[in-house]
Structure formats: structure tokens, C-alpha cells
Amino acid sequence: MKSTISRTSFNRRFNDSVEGMATDATDIKDAVHAVDAAALMRLLPARPRLLALGEPTHGEDALLDVRNELFRQLVEQEGYRTIAIESDCMRGLVVNDYVTSGTGTLDEVMEHGFSHGWGTSAANRALVRWMRAYNARADHDGRPPSERLRFAGFDGPLEITHAASPRQALTALHGFLAARLDADLLPCTAKRLDHLLGDDDRWTEPAAMTDPARSVGQSAEAGQLRLLADDLVALLDAQTPHLTATSSRNDWDRARLYERTATGLLRYHHWMADTSPARMTRLCALRDLMMSQTLLAVAERGPAFVHAHNSHLQREKSTMQMWGGPVQWWSAGALVSARLGEEYAFVATALGTIRHQGVGAPPPDTLEGLLYALPENRCVVDTARLATVLGSTPPALRVSPWFGYAPLDPARLAGSDGIVFVKDIPRTPTP
């Protein structure tokens, strides 16, 4: 392949590839579009309940700026009302309270409402500010609840080095039930939970990620907590008619979030204490399972825009090289897609350069190299048409010199509904 490819030659390849096909086959102009919500929607058979946009690396505001603009257009043109991002689901409640009702201040929300250190991102701050302004803009009373934008974190309270204590979610679930049901129905008291939970530092011990013996997850207390959590969830389910009649929709949704998070964290901690070879595979799978459960709950409230790493949103299994070797598991996107079918859509993001991270121009024989040769700085690509252009032999897989960036696998084009391509990623300014 030549080192560059012009729009004319790319069109010629496309036209040659569709020769003999149906007469409505068009040239490459119908496969490459400006980056906007309308272009994304044209790739899909219908408006999905979950429209997921992936990113191949984290921490770059240039990619989050694209996300923000697409969300704004989806709100204004397509009726989307929720954005869900790869951040702690419990912390996300702080952000949602602010954007829906103005609770707290923007500085407080950015400090306490995001995990992974993403509250320092100027693009995330701009997103939260815009959502709050949108909700407060209609007349002087703000928009009615049904029209307000909502924010959700859909990651578990998990970091690379540790998992959170189940205290916050478990005690919140117990408190929700205790406030609405006779005390005799509850399997334990709040004091009993507090005693079994003990010091939160036991749960968040960083060394437990690489040393199962340092995990509290299979202690006698943790085992009792898993049983009590199961009883609390059963009580929540058994009392659904009463609880939904005596609670607001928001309170009920939060109770379900508490139960998913409490049981998910206890399960995650249990397997952190595991010593089998499948330990890391289980932990990665459990994280994405928690993600998928929250995304499905988000979808129940109406169409939502989702943003996370490509590996969490793709329809195929995800893979990662860990200290103990390679692991493979079903991503949140794969799990959600299996449940929602065409009501789940996934658009991957690909990029050309991140020069400040040592990622230069992509080799011309890679998928990113082919897209990098196009004149557009940003574009939306129809993957079905692109696959036709490429034919039966996919481009080479790009190899990243930096561990924090994962190139797209050209053999997996069929698993995405489109690609957003960003040519060059400038350095994110230091806040």
C-alpha cells in the first residue's frame, strides 16, 4: 500500500468494490461524514435505547469534547435525556443531583462526583455545567422532571488497585427498607451491618489486588454480609408493590442501584480472595457485569448516550494482558447487546496521533493509517461500507508504542455500527 491515499483513489477503491452491486450503491461520500448526531443516527435502523460511543484511550479532553457535542445534538435533535459515563455509579448520584436540582456547587460536584480522577477534566466540567444550565433554562422554574437531563456513572466503585467497601451501598439499601417497612421484616439491624463491615480500610487494601491473601472478601464476616445482602435484595423484590407506591421513581431507582452495587461489590471482593488461575478473568468479568446491569437500568428510563472505553462497549469479548498473563471476558456492551439487540448501538472511536504520548502517525497499511490519509480532521465512517472497500483481507493491526492506547482491530469492524475518527489529539491543558 502506498504511504498516502487520496480521496480520489479511496473513492476509486470503493467504486470498484461495489461494481456489480445494487444500483443504489453510492461512492465513498456516503461512507464518510462530518461528525454529528444526524450522521450517527443514519447508520442505525432506528433510534436505539442505548447509543454507545467508545474511546481508545482515557484522559484526553479532545475526545470528551467530541462526546459533549454529540450529546448536546442528541438532546436537541433526537430526544436523548441521559448520559452515562465510565465513572463510579455511586459518585454519579452527586452529579445527577446537581444537574437535575442544583444540589451543591459545581466545584463540589467535580471533586466528589467522579472517580478515576476525572473530576479535574475541563471537558467533564463543561458537560456538567451545560447539563445544569439546560435543566434550569426553561422559564424561571426550570424544565419539568420528565424533560430534565440526567447523569449516570455506570462503572462500579472500583479502581485498578482496589475495590470500595460495600458499606455505602449496603447501608443505604438497609436504610431505604428500614424507612418503609416494619423492622421485624428486615434480616438484621444497621448496627449488625456496621459490626460485620468493620474498618473500611480492610476492604480497600491495595495489596489485595495482587495478593489474594490480603483480601477480606472470603472472611467469615464477608460471608455473613453476602447472605444478609441477599436477604435484603429478596425483601426489596418481595415488597415491590408497597415500595414503589410509597417511593418516588428516583428513590426506587436508587434503591435498585444500591442493591446491585452492594451485591456486586461483595461478589467482587469474594473473588479478590480467590487463588485460582481464573481469578483475574473473574474480576474483569464481574466489573463489566456490574456495568451492564446499570446500563440496562439506565435504558429503562428512556434513550441514553453512553461513553466509555471501546473495550467496555464492544460487542465482542475484551482482552487484556495482566501481570498473571492474558485474560478474556465478555464486555458490558456484549452483555447489553445480547439483551437489547438492535436497541443497543456501538460506535467506536479511532484516532491517528497522540504525539505527547509517543503515538505518531499510523502506518499506512493499518485501518487508522487508511483513515489518517483522508483530508478530514474528524469524520464518521460507515463501517459496513468501509468493510466492503477493504474486501476480504483486513488491514494490518496497528501496534501502539504506549500502553494507554488501544488501536482498533480491523477484523472486528462488523461488531461496530460506525467509527468516529479523530486525526490528531492535542495535549490536554493542565488544569
Radius of gyration of the chain (CA): 23
- Report d(CA 303, CA 76) in Å as an integer: 13
Q: What is the mean pLDDT of residues 338-367?
A: 97
Q: Is the pLDDT of residue 260 over 70?
A: yes
Among the listed ranges 51-60, 337-346, 387-396, which one has the minimum average pLDDT value? 387-396
What pLDDT score does 138 carry? 63
Please tell me whether residue 337 adopts helix, strand or coil conformation.
helix
Which residue type is seen at 106?
L
Give the mean pLDDT of 160-181: 95
- Predicted structure pTM score: 0.92
The grid cell for 390 is: 477493504
pLDDT at res. 367: 93
* Alpha-carbon gap, residue 425 to 216, rounded angstroms: 42
124-161: pLDDT as tens digits: 999 999 999 999 986 556 788 889 999 999 999 998 77
Condensed to tens digits (0 to 9), the pLDDT of residues 198-253 reads: 999 999 999 999 999 999 999 999 999 999 999 999 999 999 999 999 999 999 99
pLDDT higher than threshold 70 for residue 255 = yes
Cα 181 from Cα 228, distance rounded (Å): 16
| Average pLDDT over every residue of 358-365 | 96
1 pLDDT higher than 70: no
What mean pLDDT do residues 302-310 have? 97
CA torsion sign for 244, 249, 255, 256 is positive
Q: What is the predicted pLDDT for the residue at 53?
A: 98
Quick one: pLDDT at residue 3? 36
Average pLDDT of the segment spanning 49-72 = 98
pLDDT at 282 over 80: yes
pLDDT band at 320 (very low <50, low <70, confident <90, very high): confident
Give the type of residue at 398: R
Lowest mean pLDDT among 19-28, 287-296, 341-350, 369-378: 19-28
Q: Which residues contact 234 (CB under 8 A, 6 or more apart)?
A: none
Residue 269 — very low, low, confident or very high, per pLDDT cuts 50/70/90?
Answer: very high
Q: From CA 38, how far away is CA 53, in angstroms rounded?
A: 14
Taking the C-alpha atoms of residue 208 and residue 165, their distance in angstroms, rounded to an integer, is 13
What is the per-residue pLDDT across 67-113, written as a single tens digit (0 to 9) for each?
999 999 999 999 999 999 999 999 999 999 999 999 999 999 999 99
- Distant-in-sequence, close-in-space partners of 184: CB < 8 Å, separation ≥ 6: none
Mean pLDDT of 339-345: 97
On average, the pLDDT of the chain sits at 91
Given this model, what pLDDT does residue 25 score?
A: 32
Give the separation between CA 322 and CA 281, rounded to whole angstroms. 10
Q: Which helix (H) or strand (E) holds 353?
A: strand 344-353
pLDDT at 431: 65
